[in-house]
Amino acid sequence: MSRDVVDAARRCVCPGSYDPVTAGHVDVIARAARLYDEVVVAVLHNPAKTGTFTVPERIELLRADLADAGVENVRLEAFANRLLVDVCRDVEAAVVVKGLRGGTDFAYELPMALMNRHLSGVETVFLPGDPQFEHVSSSLVKEVARFGGDITGLVSERVRAALTRRLAEHA
């Protein structure tokens, strides 16, 4: 096995929109950081969607939450209008790590994992999410917060405050 392949196998990419980052995201990234020498957290911007937070805001929230969790071997980068396999090639990662909350996530993620492998040989590692966060998604957190529900414990206090402020600005 070539040195480049070995080095790439020590680095993984955790892609997502992270709009906003949840406790489930932090859990998966922290666990990936224990498995790989470096985790590239690829904050992906979908121009077809209007985000609640800008990509730089998402990166700052992620950086702070990961620091609070003691995760040090991460690099946060923004990507737009690119295939995930191209991101992996650019950062020299041979592995994508995706968290799964349940069977629905697996059914959604599996075809993408197979396509990524078909396109470039990049493998996908699925990490089962912590069951306490099985019901947590960024979109559900935003919906609950929008209607005044309690999202304590689903996101950090920092994210909760930022989300509350942002939703009030658009009310």
SS3 state of residue 65: helix
Does residue 103 lie in a domain region?
yes
Report if residue 35 sits inside a domain.
Answer: yes
Is the pLDDT confidence value at 8 over 60? no
Q: Can you give the pTM of this predicted structure?
A: 0.92
Using CA atoms, how far residue 4 sits from 67, 124, 129, in Å, is: 29, 18, 30
Report if residue 139 sits inside a domain: no
Residue 102 lies in a domain: yes
In a domain? residue 163: no
Confirm whether 19 is domain-assigned: yes
- Active-site pick, 101, 142, 156, 160: 101
160 is catalytic: no
Residue 92 sits in a domain whose CATH number is: 3.40.50.620
Evaluate whether residue 167 is within a structural domain.
Answer: no
Least confident of 14-18, 49-53, 158-162: 49-53
C-alpha 153/C-alpha 24 separation (Å) is 10
Region 86-106 average pLDDT: 95
Question: What's the pLDDT score for residue 143?
Answer: 96
Range of the domain at 125: 3-133
Q: Is 142 a catalytic residue?
A: no
166 annotated active-site: no
Give the count of domains, the chain.
1
8 A C-beta contact, residue 74 and residue 104: no
List pLDDT tens digits, range 34-89.
999 999 999 998 777 788 999 999 999 999 999 999 999 999 999 988 999 999 99
**Which residues partner with 100 through β-bridges?**
128
Which tokens hold the place of 31? 């666990």
In a domain, 145, yes or no: no
Residue in 3, 49, 165, 170 annotated catalytic? 49
125 Cβ partners below 8 Å, 6+ apart? 12, 35, 95, 96, 97, 98
Question: Is 45 known to be catalytic?
Answer: no
